[in-house]
Structure formats: structure tokens, C-alpha cells
Amino acid sequence: MEFIQQNIYLISIALISGGMLAFMSFRRPAGSNTLTSTQATLLINRENAQVIDLREPDEYISGHLPESRNIPAGRLQERAGELDRFKEGPLLLICQSGSRSSTASKQLANLGFAKVHCLEGGINAWRTAGLPLKKGAKK
């Protein structure tokens, strides 16, 4: 008890910082549908997820996930019909940093897509993780 009284400030700081660390570890910025690069890789490999790259064509050509399909975020609404055959399967949305995919995820959910996921941190996180990218013409 004497130890606690003498070190109340240090104990308070430790509890607050520990609580903040735990909160940040479990919080997902774009909601529960965001995946880390590792989780995204598992989704692609285990559940055959269709990867949709929401970046502009010039961004896509500079480096994209193998087997990904390029549908720019600004044209997603008009081109959503191209994805109808994937309505019940998992979709993985990718953009540069994760912000466009979060918005697109909501659009597709409203159109009836059941399993829409976003890559947390976008293509930047994929690159940082050292995962493979393919360069070249859009698909």
C-alpha cells in the first residue's frame, strides 16, 4: 500500500498508457471490414477473394496486386454491374492509403455485396510489408 501511495503518478501513467495501447490495438480505422496485409493475403489465398484496385489507371499501372481488377473509385457506381458475379463472395478493395476503399466499401454494401473488405493502409501498406506487386497494363 505504501508503494502505491509513493508512486501513484507513475502507476497512473502506466495504467493510462496501457489502456490507450490496448484501445489502439483493437480499433480498426475504417471499421470492422478492414484487413491487414497478412489478413488480406489469407483472404485471397483461402477464400479466393476478388481484388478490386480503386486507384486511377496510371496509379494501377505503376504497381498493383497480381490478378487485381482496376475500377477507379470515381467510376465504381457505374461499373458495379461488372462485379455482380462476386456479390456473395469476398471482395478486397484497395486504394493508395485506405481512404477511397472505405467509401467504396459502403457503396458496394448498399448495392447488396455481402463480404466487402478493405486493405488497411492501402497499397502503401502492401509495399511496406514487402508483398508482391505487378507492373503493367490494366486488367
**Catalytic residue annotation:** 95
Q: Which DSSP category does 7 fall into? A: T
Nine-digit cell string for 136: 503493367
Identify which of 80, 67, 78, 75 has the alpha carbon closest to the alpha carbon of residue 108. Answer: 80
| Cα–Cα separations (whole angstroms), residue 23 to 16, 19, 36, 50 | 11, 6, 17, 31
Residue 35 near residue 65 (C-beta atoms within 8 A) = no
